[in-house]
Amino acid sequence: MARKPADQSVDREDILWAAAEVLHRNGYEATTMKDIAAQVNLTAASLYHHFKNKDFLLLNVLEVGLDLTIDKLERIDASDRSCVEKLSAMIRSHVVSVTGNVAVGAAMVFEIRALLNVSVGAKNSDESFTREFVARRNQFFARRDYFEGLFRNIVRAGIESGEFREVDAAIVTKAMLGAHNWVGVWFKEGGRLSGEAVADVMVDTWLAALGERNG
Amino acid sequence: MARKPADQSVDREDILWAAAEVLHRNGYEATTMKDIAAQVNLTAASLYHHFKNKDFLLLNVLEVGLDLTIDKLERIDASDRSCVEKLSAMIRSHVVSVTGNVAVGAAMVFEIRALLNVSVGAKNSDESFTREFVARRNQFFARRDYFEGLFRNIVRAGIESGEFREVDAAIVTKAMLGAHNWVGVWFKEGGRLSGEAVADVMVDTWLAALGERNG
DNA sequence: CCAAGAATCAAATGACTGTTCGATTATAGG
DNA sequence: CCTATAATCGAACAGTCATTTGATTCTTGG
């Protein structure tokens, strides 16, 4: 094959993380291809060798972030534990993810609207690009619903098993995810609490909210 | 004075609400002055008669939204009630605000970064514009901290009075506000629950999270 | 009815951005 | 040592957008 210089070996992954960081700082629309390129010492033109265009780049960042989070949650979900234990582990996993990679966590929250606003009905030259983009975008949103469902199902299961009190599982789940997502907005590395400590507070908070009685 | 046509009497306020709506749909960067103008049947140029520029327009939207919310919270805070009752009323007020005017609620959450990213150090022509903008922006952020403090203080007071269990008030407050803010993202008028119903679930959730024992 | 200023618009400007293209450089396999 | 091709860049393009300017239309106080 070809080129992979010793000093500036930049691959897809590097660009993805760099993009997440810049996205976190500026937001999708305010982020230029030049900004992202600069973060990895490239020019804007070079990015098009790795990604079809700006929209696909954003989509990739979100896909990777979501996949990483879902993987961990599925492992917990598949384990043989009580609902209380599962939910605790899931909350901890989610919050630690967000605090560990604020860039991706925040992108997951803030850039979804940008994804929706991509001008799909416009005068785009390449028709197949549009088609593929829409398909992958829809799949992303479906996967995001699945992600939320993982939490909601545990809440529901816990209610049925009597481990949790009776609540509106859908709303409480959304409240929970809102609280977690918001962590990506205010959390700063090196602050009063570590990511794990914040996660512990969240676990404690939500178990209490769900009226768990064995903690 | 002058002009205020019968058919299209558009004033500052109208533009403000229109801007909030478009902002909610598209986000600050993706929103053009033309978009906002169209919402009130004006041209982009006309907006400059009412607002200095796009940045100030955004700032105005956020200021108005925050002021409205804070007003209600302060009235509750000043009342002579228990911490449980105060917090309940505050949560309900906040959530109903968000569901009642999703546009402003969402702007408060999503456009704050845009506010930070305004190119203040750039080659702006008018130096005094920049100075005023920075001053008002700082004041906005201070006011936003004050808003959060209103909730946090009640949580702390409730802990001291024994109405709430001992929690990390700062983190729990942020979790609470995160959950409320997130409502602006998913709430749709005409869905399964009304804004008031969602607010009730939130009150119930947070009182439980705080281990309140008189509900 | 008049004059002053408020409200609006059309058109032009200047800057910035995503994207393309052609050329160049470096690498790995033969 | 070649050569195909991966990776990169400089320059140019077409489009969009915030903002300015100068003129125009309306409304109201006198």
* Residue A124 pLDDT exceeds 60: no
C-alpha distances (whole Å) from A24 to each of A20, A111, B82, B110 are 6, 9, 40, 12
What is the Cα gyration radius of chain B?
Answer: 20
Q: What is the pLDDT of residues B4-20, one digit of tens each?
A: 554 456 789 999 999 99
Q: Which pLDDT belongs to residue A125?
A: 54
With contact defined as beta carbons under 8 Å apart, do A114 and A29 qualify?
A: yes
A32-36, A103-107, B86-90: least confident range: A103-107
**B120 falls in which pLDDT band (50, 70, 90)?**
low
**A106-123 average pLDDT score:** 75
A positions 90-129 inside 8 Å of B (CB): 110, 113-114, 117
Percent of chain B with pLDDT over 90: 74
Above 80 in pLDDT, residue A201?
A: yes
For residue A68, give the DSSP letter: H
Q: From the CA of B65, how many Å to the nearest CA of chain A?
A: 19
Interior/surface letters B152-183, b for 16+ CB within 10 angstroms, e for the rest: bebbbbbbeeebbeebbbbbbbbbbbbbbbbb
Q: Does domain B53-209 have CATH number 1.10.357.10?
A: yes
pLDDT of B127 above 80: no
**Nearest residue, CB atoms, A208 vs list B29, B177, B209:** B209
Confidence of residue B2 (pLDDT cuts 50, 70, 90): low
Of residues A5 and A191, which shows the higher confidence score? A191
Query: What is the per-residue pLDDT across B175-186, written as a single tens digit (0 to 9) for each?
Result: 999 999 999 889
How much is the pLDDT for B72?
Answer: 96
Q: How far is the CA of A2 from the C1' of D6 (A)?
A: 4
- The yes-or-no verdict on residue A6 having pLDDT over 50 is no
The arithmetic mean of pLDDT across residues A149-154, rounded, is 98
Q: How far is the CA of A74 from the C1' of D12 (A)?
A: 49
The answer on pLDDT for B76 being more than 60 is yes
- Residue B215 has a pLDDT of 44
Are the Cβ atoms of B168 and A114 closer than 8 angstroms?
Answer: no
* CB-CB neighbors (< 8 A) of B205 in chain A: 167, 171-172, 175, 209
Which whole number is the average pLDDT over A157-179?
97
Q: What is the mean pLDDT of residues A154-183?
A: 97
- Asked if the Cβ of residue B54 lies within 7 A of any atom of strand C, the reply is no
Query: What is the C-alpha to C-alpha distance for residues B147 and B74, in angstroms, rounded to an integer?
Result: 9
**Bases on strand C under 7 Å from any protein CB:** 4-11, 16-22, 25-29
Over 90: is that where the pLDDT of A79 sits?
yes
Are B168 and A201 in contact (CB < 8 Å)? yes
Mean pLDDT (whole number) for B72-98: 97
Dihedral angle sign, alpha carbons of residues B122, B127, B131, B137: negative
Mean pLDDT of chain B: 90
Q: What is the DSSP letter of A166?
A: -
Instruction: Determine the Cα–Cα distance for residues B54 and A173; give it in Å rounded to an integer.
Output: 37
Alpha-carbon distance of A198 to B114, in angstroms, equals 27
Single-letter residue type at B32 = T
Instruction: Using the structure, give the distance in angstroms from the CA atom of A210 to the C1' atom of D29, rounded to a whole number.
Output: 66
B-chain CB neighbours of A29 within 8 Å are 27-30
The reply to whether the CB atom of residue A209 sits less than 7 A from any atom in nucleic acid chain C is no
Average predicted confidence (pLDDT) for chain A: 90
CA distance, residue A113 to nearest chain B CA (Å): 7
Percent of chain A clearing pLDDT 90 (strictly above): 74
**How far away is chain B from the Cα of A128, in angstroms, using its nearest Cα?**
24
From chain B residues 27-86, the ones with a CB under 8 A of any chain A CB are 27-30
Determine contact, residues B183/B105, Cβ cutoff 8 Å.
Answer: yes
Distances (CA, A) of A31 to A20, A26, A57, B118: 10, 6, 12, 13
Residue with more model confidence, B9 or A118: A118
Best of B31, B102, B113 to disrupt the A interface by mutation (most A CBs within 10 Å)?
B113
- Pair A114, B27: CB distance under 8 Å: yes
Query: Would the CB atoms of B201 and A175 count as touching at under 8 Å?
Result: yes
CA A151 to chain CA mean position, Å: 14
Say if residue A43's pLDDT is above 90: yes
φ and ψ at B147, to 5 degrees? -55, -50
HEC letters along chain B: CCCCCCCCCCCHHHHHHHHHHHHHHHCCCCCCHHHHHHHCCCCHHHHHHHCCCHHHHHHHHHHHHHHHHHHHHHHHHHCCCCHHHHHHHHHHHHHHHHHHCHHHHHHHHHCHHHHHHCCCCCCCCCHHHHHHHHHHHHHHHHHHHHHHHHHHHHHHHHHHCCCCCCCCHHHHHHHHHHHHHHHHHHCCCCCCCCHHHHHHHHHHHHHHHCCCCCC
- Taking the C-alpha atoms of residue B7 and residue B86, their distance in angstroms, rounded to an integer, is 45
d(CA A206, CA A194): 19
Residues of B in contact with A181 (CB under 8 A): 178, 182
Q: What residue in A sits closest to B182 (Cα-Cα)?
A: A178
- Give the C-alpha separation, B16 to B20, whole Å: 6
Interval B65-72 mean pLDDT: 93
